[in-house]
């Protein structure tokens, strides 16, 4: 056996308890709910292996170089750590649960800190640092254009409540933030945009670039504090998780920003009668539970409440527990390093939707919608964001999804309804 280097030793000591909590059980309930395992059947990508590697590293059987690439194969969806009996049956009792997501993030950071970088992620993070937003593919991304999606909406800057617009929404699926802005205004929710919105830093953190993530977070929090912001509305689950988990870790007890996820707010508006949904949306739809919303945070009721309130919509549901094993494959940087796996995972998701004979798959996560849409096109299923449907049902107008307000290839059912 070789000696274990100091950086690895420190890491192993930090993770040993959690590693043995998995390794000493080894029952792999995680594997059936892991979206990556669902397409690769490769044990190297199992949450079990992710934990066992820590023990193996301590034993000198594998090195960081050996395993680093394997940790690419995770969307950080949280299915494994949710389903693991250590969490599900005993995590609350012991205040000690399975933490695969944190482990994957930590192992990726260890790799980066030791000079082992994945080529796609390195390019991605470098570009994010350069333009302060993520290099959402195929679209020119510049800080000056981060609020261009709001053209014509006359949205104020600043205020107590701001709407944070995820990079993919700001630069690619602009129909989403435009719908959200109209909905909030119609519902009487006062809000503004950030003075200078930077990427939330979540993806950088997920890929192992911790310093970059912290820098972005510091900027954003300073922007909020300087503007007297008390509340942030997140329209994407990735941001919601970054703001309520990563930012808590960075800023500790001082962190006093209230973070609201859009579906919770909109469900309340509908419940209170502040938003009327009177325009029928003639579609047969099923709902995709975004991983970070459902598995990671247990938010699955508000989207369904909203869907049931949309007139004209036939909603064919799949319960949120069955959806523990569903995923779009877009998260955790997988779409950047292994787009083939993302496509395969989205393909499986659309196969399941197709089995329900729906024409629409509704998601509440803008990052999921790009790979899901591609897979949907192959199967004649349109992918919409929940808020786009709400805006349509509230008679607030519909923008075509796609890059910068331009129609997506082939048009959409929404286009056809507007014609």
Residues 241 to 300 in contact with other proteins, rule: CB under 8 A: 243-244, 248, 253, 255-256, 258-261, 264-265, 268, 297-298
For residue 341, count CB atoms less than 10 angstroms from its CB and return exposed for 0-12, middle for 13-18, buried for 19 or more: buried
Sheet with strand 283-288: strands edge to edge = 313-315, 283-288, 360-363, 382-385
In terms of CB distance, is 3 or 138 closer to other proteins?
A: 3
Shortest distance in whole angstroms from residue 232 CB to other proteins: 9
197-236 positions binding other proteins, by CB under 8 A: 231
Is 409 a binding residue for other proteins by CB under 8 A? The answer is: no
- Comparing CA positions, the residue from 81, 70, 98, 72 lying closest to residue 30 is 81
In terms of CB distance, is 67 or 136 closer to other proteins?
A: 67
320-379 positions binding other proteins, by CB under 8 A: 320-322
57 CA to centre of own chain: 30
46-85 positions binding other proteins, by CB under 8 A: 46, 48-49, 52-53, 55-56, 59-63, 65-67, 70, 82-83, 85
Q: How far apart are the first and last CA of the chain?
A: 70
Which two structure tokens, joined as six digits, stand for 340? Answer: 């083939």
Shortest distance in whole angstroms from residue 373 CB to other proteins: 25
Beta carbons of 242 and 200 less than 8 angstroms apart: yes
In the shown chain, the binding pattern of residues 160 to 189 toward other proteins, with x for contact by CB under 8 A and - for none, equals ------------------------------
339 Cβ neighbours under 8 A, 6+ residues apart: none
Shortest distance in whole angstroms from residue 142 CB to other proteins: 31
In terms of CB distance, is 51 or 172 closer to other proteins?
A: 51
In terms of CB distance, is 268 or 317 closer to other proteins?
A: 268
89-108 positions binding other proteins, by CB under 8 A: 89-97, 99
Shortest distance in whole angstroms from residue 111 CB to other proteins: 13
Shortest distance in whole angstroms from residue 240 CB to other proteins: 8
120-149 positions binding other proteins, by CB under 8 A: none
Which two structure tokens, joined as six digits, stand for 278? Answer: 């009177």
Residue 416 to residue 413: CA distance in whole angstroms? 5
In terms of CB distance, is 123 or 225 closer to other proteins?
A: 225
In terms of CB distance, is 171 or 326 closer to other proteins?
A: 326
Shortest distance in whole angstroms from residue 340 CB to other proteins: 12
- Contacts with other proteins by CB under 8 A: the residue count is 72
In the shown chain, the binding pattern of residues 12 to 51 toward other proteins, with x for contact by CB under 8 A and - for none, equals ----xx--xx-xxxxxxx-xx--------xxxx-x-xx--
Shortest distance in whole angstroms from residue 18 CB to other proteins: 9
């Amino acid at each position: 056996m070789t000696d274990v280097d100091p950086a690895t030793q420190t890491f192993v000591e930090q993770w040993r308890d959690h590693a043995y909590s998995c390794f000493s059980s080894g029952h792999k309930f995680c594997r059936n709910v892991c979206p990556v395992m669902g397409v690769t059947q490769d044990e190297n990508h199992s949450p079990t292996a992710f934990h066992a590697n820590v023990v193996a590293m301590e034993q000198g059987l594998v090195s960081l170089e050996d395993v680093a690439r394997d940790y690419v194969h995770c969307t950080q969806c949280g299915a494994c750590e949710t389903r693991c009996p250590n969490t599900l049956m005993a995590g609350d009792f012991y205040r000690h649960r399975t933490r695969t997501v944190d482990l994957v993030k930590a192992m990726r950071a260890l790799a980066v800190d030791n000079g082992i970088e994945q080529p796609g992620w390195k390019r991605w993070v470098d570009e994010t640092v350069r333009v302060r937003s993520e290099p959402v593919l195929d679209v020119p991304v510049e800080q000056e254009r981060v609020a261009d999606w709001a053209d014509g909406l006359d949205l104020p800057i600043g205020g107590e409540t701001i709407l944070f617009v995820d990079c993919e929404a700001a630069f690619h699926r602009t129909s989403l933030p435009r719908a959200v802005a109209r909905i909030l205004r119609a519902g009487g929710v006062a809000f503004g945009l950030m003075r200078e919105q930077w990427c939330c830093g979540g993806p950088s953190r997920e890929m192992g670039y911790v310093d970059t993530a912290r820098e972005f977070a510091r900027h954003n929090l300073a922007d909020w504090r300087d503007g007297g912001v008390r509340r942030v509305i997140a329209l994407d689950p990735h941001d919601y998780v970054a703001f309520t988990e990563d930012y808590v870790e960075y800023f500790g007890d001082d962190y006093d920003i209230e973070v609201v996820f859009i579906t919770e707010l909109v469900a309340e508006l509908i419940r209170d009668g502040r938003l009327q949904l009177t325009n029928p949306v003639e579609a047969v739809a099923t709902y995709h539970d975004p991983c970070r919303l459902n598995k990671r945070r247990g938010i699955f009721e508000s989207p369904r409440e909203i869907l049931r309130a949309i007139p004209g919509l036939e909603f064919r549901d799949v319960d949120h527990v069955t959806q523990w094993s569903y995923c779009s494959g877009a998260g955790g940087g997988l779409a950047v390093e292994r787009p083939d796996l993302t496509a395969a995972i989205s393909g499986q998701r659309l196969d399941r939707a197709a089995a329900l004979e729906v024409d629409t798959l509704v998601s509440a996560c803008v990052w999921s919608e790009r790979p899901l849409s591609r897979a949907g096109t192959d199967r004649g299923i349109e992918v919409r964001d929940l808020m786009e449907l709400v805006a349509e049902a509230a008679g607030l107008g519909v923008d075509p999804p796609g890059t910068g307000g331009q129609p997506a290839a082939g048009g959409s059912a929404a286009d056809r309804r507007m014609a």
